[in-house]
Amino acid sequence: MPNVVLATGPGGVGVCTQAVFNAGQCLGTQNSTVTLNGKSARVNGAEWDITAIPISGLTVEWTGSYLDARYTNFAFVPPPGYLEPTGTNNLTGTPFPLPAWQTSITAAYAFGLHQIGDLAVGDLTLSGHYFWQSRYLAELANYNPSQQTSAYGMLNLQLMLAGIGRSDADLSLFVNNATNQKACGPEYVGVLNSAPNATFGVAGTSGVLQCVPLAPRMAGIQAIYRF
């Protein structure tokens, strides 16, 4: 979505041409977002999903993906009456703003308990889930480097008592982001404009790749009843 403008020529007379606009001599400029399709792109990648049961009661699952997606022709021509914004607008050859690598490992151990004291249960299960992804790829030429997101990993843990009293009730203790990993994701809506800018960090002027903090460590108890 190129951020194009409408304007008049010097002195408010005539149509503002691209050359005059680039020279900063146009008047009455108005920002207006126009949605245009990229002409072509290529997408390569792979996914995997592996499940193993190394010992009785223990299930391990490893999933992940690799993505290599780039625009092969992102040139655009604004509609009549609109002008291209100054700076680099042709994203041909640049990657999609997505992480190239994502992977997760989940391990769950069922203790095989069906009785805890006088309490009948379905089972007691301890599970852990670790998710990791590489940084978001994006074209950041001439932009503030602090707008670049970083790779991060998150570990979640859960201890679940299922089928309490042979009923449809489960009780879980959980810790999300157990290592209290500090990480952030890109914010696609942006503030005031639709492109990253050199004023990143200034209130009210951040662009689409500002880092939005993810949740810190959180522990709790969860009760579920299935009707």
DSSP letters for 133-179: EPPBP---TTS-GGG----EEEEEEEEEEESGGGSSEEEEEEEESTT
Burial 102-119 (b: 16+ CB within 10 A, else e): bbbbbbbbbeeeeeeeee
The confidence band for 191, taking pLDDT boundaries of 50, 70 and 90, is very low
**For the whole prediction, is pTM greater than 0.75?**
no
Whether 176 has a pLDDT exceeding 90, the answer reads yes
Model confidence pLDDT, tens digit, residues 8-41: 777 777 777 777 777 777 777 776 667 777 789 9
Residue 79 CB neighbour total at 10 angstroms: 9
> What sign does the dihedral 8-13-18-24 (CA atoms) show?
negative
Question: How many Å apart are CA 122 and CA 214, to the nearest integer?
Answer: 34
